[in-house]
Structure 1
């Protein structure tokens, strides 16, 4: 199955993350939402690949989110999916206006400012992400 996903990631302590050659960001402890596309080969198996990076089973860094997921301070907690709809950028833009965007991450192949967002606590982040997925494409 293919579609759009948003990963929900907890960062236990503030830390500096080097996102490959793109940039280095000082990230606060709290909750992060990363929105991506699963329309390539394998579809939503990309989420399982991200989980392997987060667990330390896979240390390859292909996408910006891999650098955050590969940090010992982070933990992949959940994901939200919209099946069969390519709404990656629409979800990211909806999150831009509600929760704090982390500029320049995960949006190198589109016109968005970012696909990574921050909120200090899980409940606000998760409800905002779920609502953005519900509204996308409508």
Structure 2
């Protein structure tokens, strides 16, 4: 099934992570939100792939978020899905948090699709409210 998703990522300690061609990036400990879409083959199986990478069951990194998820101090806390909705850029601008410049938005005009969120609860509430408003 196609759609949009928000991955809520916990980073337990500060880290310097090489994010593909973007090079080394500094990440503070805390909560991050990554907004992605699944309009290609496989649909939401991409979310399962991200979960497997975060759990150490997969090594290949294809997207910017994979570099963060593959770090030992990172874990995938939750995923909120938006079936059949093309909201990637909207959510990247609407969810609470500070955009991590250049990360996750290489195929659009947005500055970023990764946000450093001030609070996990507020982030989840906002994502769920967006999802529920569309049902």
Q: TM-score under structure 1 normalisation?
A: 0.91
Q: Which consecutive aligned stretches of 4+ in structure 1 deviate over 6 angstroms post-superposition?
A: none
Provide, for residues 81-121 of structure 1, a one-character-per-residue CA deviation record: whole Å limited to 9, x for no partner: 111011111111112xx311111000000000000001243
| Partner secondary structure for residue 108 of structure 1 | coil
CA drift of 1:131 comes to 3.1
For the 8 Å contact 2:97–2:118, the answer to whether it is kept is no
Q: Could you list the runs of 5+ residues in structure 1 that have no partner in the other structure?
A: none
For the 8 Å contact 1:118–1:125, the answer to whether it is kept is no
Matching residue of 2:5: 5
Provide the C-alpha distance between the structure 2 equivalents of 1:24 and 1:51, rounded to a whole number of angstroms: 23
Match of 1:115 among 113, 116, 121: 113
Matching residue of 1:35: 35
Provide, for residues 7-56 of structure 1, a one-character-per-residue CA deviation record: whole Å limited to 9, x for no partner: 01100001111101113221111101000001110100000000111011
Aligned residues: 135
Q: TM-score under structure 2 normalisation?
A: 0.93
Matched, 1:49 2:54: no
Matching residue of 1:101: 99
Provide the C-alpha distance between the structure 2 equivalents of 1:72 and 1:79, rounded to a whole number of angstroms: 19
* RMSD of aligned alpha carbons: 1.6
For the 8 Å contact 1:7–1:35, the answer to whether it is kept is yes
For the 8 Å contact 1:91–1:133, the answer to whether it is kept is no
Matching residue of 1:90: 90
Q: Could you list the runs of 5+ residues in structure 2 that have no partner in the other structure?
A: none
**For the structure 1 residues 133 and 107, does the alpha-carbon distance in structure 2 shift closer, same or farther, using more than 3 Å as the test?**
farther
For the 8 Å contact 2:10–2:75, the answer to whether it is kept is yes
For the 8 Å contact 1:33–1:129, the answer to whether it is kept is no
Between 1:124-133 and 1:31-40, the stretch displaced more is: 124-133
